[in-house]
Amino acid sequence: MSQPGPADAGASAEALGPWCAACGEVGTAGKAGHERCAAALELDTPRFCTRCGRRLDVQVYPTSVSATCRRCDGVHPRDRGRA
């Protein structure tokens, strides 16, 4: 079971790798070409792994979000969304 504790939603927009967590393209949410992605992440979960670009397994709970990448084997600590 994976229900992460509190995390900073803003942190999910930060890059851990070359991929944007919102759209899955190369880039970083909030940076050049991905300005709208940062806004999207205010009320949406990360959808792509910032390390490898794969779609994440996302489960939304009332007060938390689990976002995991099968390839990178585990929850991305900065991709958990708002608690």
Partner 1 sequence: MPIATTPSRDDAAVAAYVADPAKLLTLCEESLIDRRETLTADMAYALADLDIDAALPSEERPEGTVLDAMLDLAHRVRVLWTSEEVALESIVSGKTGGCPEDCTFCSQSSAFETLVKPQPLLTEAEVLQAAASAEAQGATEFCIVYAVRGPDERLMENILALTAIVHEKTEMHVAVSAGILTADQAKRLKAAGVIKYNHNLEASRSFFPNVASTHTWEERWETLNLIRDHGMEVCTGGIVGMGETPAQRAELALELAEFRPTETPLNFLNPRPGTPMADREPMQPREALHAIALFRLVLPWTLLRLAGGREIALKDLQSAGLLGGVNGLIIGNYLTTLGRTPQQDVQMLKDLDIPVRGVQDLL
- In the beta sheet, which residues pair with residue 19? 26
Q: Least CB distance from residue 31 to partner 1, whole Å?
A: 19
The owner of tokens 């851990």 is: 16
Q: Torsions phi, psi of 58, nearest 5?
A: -115, 130
Would you count residue 71 as binding partner 1 (CB under 8 A)?
no
| 30, 56, 78, 80: which one binds partner 1 (CB under 8 A) | 56
Cβ distance 37 to 24 under 8 Å?
Answer: no
Q: Rule CB under 8 A: choose which of 4, 7, 47, 78 binds partner 1.
A: 47
Asked if 14 is part of the footprint of partner 1 (rule: CB under 8 A), the reply reads no
- Token output for 7: 């995390």
Those residues whose C-beta lies under 8 Å from the C-beta of residue 59, and which sit 6 or more positions away, are 2, 65, 66
- Write down the least CB distance from residue 81 to partner 1, Å: 6
Note whether 31 binds partner 1 by CB under 8 A.
no
Q: Which residues bind partner 1 (CB under 8 A)?
A: 1, 3, 9, 42-45, 47, 55-65, 81-82
